[in-house]
Amino acid sequence: MTTSPLQQRPAWKALEAHYTEIAPRHLRELFAHDPTRGTRMIAEAEGLYLDYSKNRVTDETMELLFQLAHESGLVERRDQMFSGEHINVSEDRAVLHVALRMPEESSLVVDGVDVVREVHAALDQMADFCTRVRDGSWKGHSGKRIKNIVNIGIGGSDLGPVMAYEALRYYSQRDLTFRFVSNVDATDLTEAVRDLQADETLFIISSKTFGTLETLTNAKSARNWLFEQIGDSSAVAKHFVAVSTNAEKVSEFGIDVANMFPFWDWVGGRYSMDSAIGLSTMLAIGPQGFKELLDGFHAMDEHFRSAPLERNLPALMGLLAVWNRNFLGCQTAGVMPYDQYLKRLPAYLQQLTMESNGKHVALDGTILSYDTGAIHWGEAGTNGQHSFYQLIHQGTTIVPVDLIGFAKSLNPLGEHHDILSSNIFAQAQALAFGKTEAEIRAEGTPADVVAHRVMEGNRPTNVLLAEVLSPRLLGSLIALYEHSVFTQGAIWGIDSFDQWGVELGKELAVKIIPELEAGTEPVLAHDSSTNALIEHYRALKRKEKTHAVD
């Protein structure tokens, strides 16, 4: 395979050479020789303090990464995004989630349209609706107020809403119940509505395309559930609203377009939680809370747009991710929020990072000769410590980890919060410095156990610290990750805004559905494995019921 333009850049070559110097060095040594490292390798913006000193880097590494950013045109590409150029090349679209949080008085004309005007018109429509639901003046079909809100969507039309609801639950209107249905497995919908009264329930059908099979299947079943309880098909008008870019399909489904909240093709699904896709978020925290969330996003956008790379949080995190992936060879990365309210953040970031940067071709379609997006995963602290951290500490795979914490708890209770937070610092320390054989021997450990207890350390972490979780802080945190993902994609020269890889599975499933619904027909014409699996499934379906499944 020939090397790509990226690998021919002077900074890339210099980083390759530099890696051979870094490889034998331990974080213990880097810290011992540089007492200011922990106060120098930090950056702060919009209430977020980033300590990146426990990465396996030196000042020289950082200089070379900044040089790589310049040689790769990161700044130019960033400016192209902010000005509405069609940087999503494979779909020929602008990428303008940053316009979703621009202040009302600003303006951004793209393809002849001031998108900021459209954004604020949609926000006004959302605010009017949310106020009416929250104060009870939006009545259901039987005249009762809405008590339950069920968001039906998948991918970006689910993960952002559910993550934001959980994250901001503390700020939510507590007499409203929120549920989120995404999986086409009927269990998801069934359990979500099991204890709800239809005449007090509002469904938000969230789908950018309004063509996603899982969402439409759930939406139809939700509509049937409503009809069965209320017995009147006109009830849809008061109990179903849609969030979509596709008015025609919304109307075809039976939702009045007056009850549709729009967004635009320049908002990627995984970048849409601050568009009308955030309707459930606004219902939960109110228009003012949603505005604070948007302000937090916007503040981080401005930071990304204006701060020099050396102090630019998203650029720093993105460049470190490239270093870890391409030079240290780390295939995976962990995100561990030490805040129970952020328990769905890892799932949200999985789509953001992996759907964006899980790509194998460059912008011009040539096959890449270097690795791209790492596998992201995580869990709220401290739960992960008692399940998989063993591998992070002593396994043979190096997992760079982001540890996210807050100085203040929203639910202060005795010593809980300091116990929780101590673990952030302790984990970063343990991962960086480990425990040597000599230290373990000095503790009087039996000789045959010493090797088992050695903690090699030298494992990279970022620590992100903030005062307290708030709507504004959440916005800044998510924008930080969005732009970190952008930075990585810009270096790798890939299209971070398409997702063609999810299409083939969808197409094949659509062909297989009728084959599963039928008894023994039609004759199958797949590969031998798929044929045998479908036959076995059909045979199991035909079997007499052995336990109660209705």
Instruction: Quote the CA–CA distance of 29 and 27 in Å, as a whole number.
Output: 5
Residue 303 is among the residues annotated as catalytic for this protein: no
Rounded least distance, CB 354 to ligand F6P, Å: 11
For 361, the token pair is 């071709």
Q: Are 481 and 462 in contact (CB under 8 A)?
A: no
The active-site residue, picked from 13, 220, 416, 506, is 506
Both structure tokens of 110: 């793209």
Give yes or no: 120 in active site: no
List the interface residues with ligand F6P, window 317-356 (CB under 6 A).
Answer: 355
Question: Which listed range, 190-198, 203-211, 220-228, 443-451, lies at the site for ligand F6P (CB under 6 A)?
Answer: 203-211
Q: Which helix (H) or strand (E) holds 334?
A: strand 332-337
Supply the minimum distance, in Å, between the C-beta of residue 276 and ligand F6P: 11
Residues 116-145 that bind ligand F6P (CB under 6 A): none
- How far apart, in whole angstroms, are the C-alpha atoms of residue 82 and residue 96? 7
Identify which range of 155-163, 302-310, 404-412, 487-495 contacts ligand F6P by CB under 6 A: 155-163
Region binding ligand F6P by CB under 6 A among candidate stretches 69-77, 206-214, 385-393, 403-411: 206-214
Could you tell me which stretch among 207-215, 231-239, 432-440, 515-523 binds ligand F6P (CB under 6 A)?
A: 207-215
Element (H, E) at 449: helix 447-453
Helix intervals (H) in 254-395: 279-306, 313-322, 345-350, 356-357, 389-394
Say whether residue 157 binds ligand F6P (CB under 6 A).
yes
Our finding on whether 207 is near ligand F6P (CB under 6 A) is yes
User: Which residue, among 123, 93, 481, has the nearest Cα to 268 in the 3D structure?
Assistant: 93
Q: Are 275 and 125 in contact (CB under 8 A)?
A: no
Rounded to whole angstroms, the Cα distance separating 291 from 294 reads 5
Measured from the CB atom, the residue of 211 and 395 that comes closer to ligand F6P is 211
**Site pattern 267..306 for ligand F6P (x: CB under 6 A):** --xx------------------------------------
Closest distance between ligand F6P and the C-beta of residue 179, in Å? 18
- To ligand F6P, the closest distance from the beta carbon of 526 in angstroms equals 22
Query: The tokens of 136 are what?
Result: 């009870």
Number of chain residues interacting with ligand F6P (CB under 6 A): 14
- 506 assigned to active site: yes
Count of H-run helices and E-run strands, the chain: 23, 13
Short-list 397, 405, 398, CA closest to 380: 405
CB of 185 to ligand F6P, least distance (A): 16
> Which DSSP helix (H) or strand (E) runs through 243?
strand 240-244
Binding site for ligand F6P (CB under 6 A): 154-157, 207-209, 212, 215, 269-270, 355, 499, 502
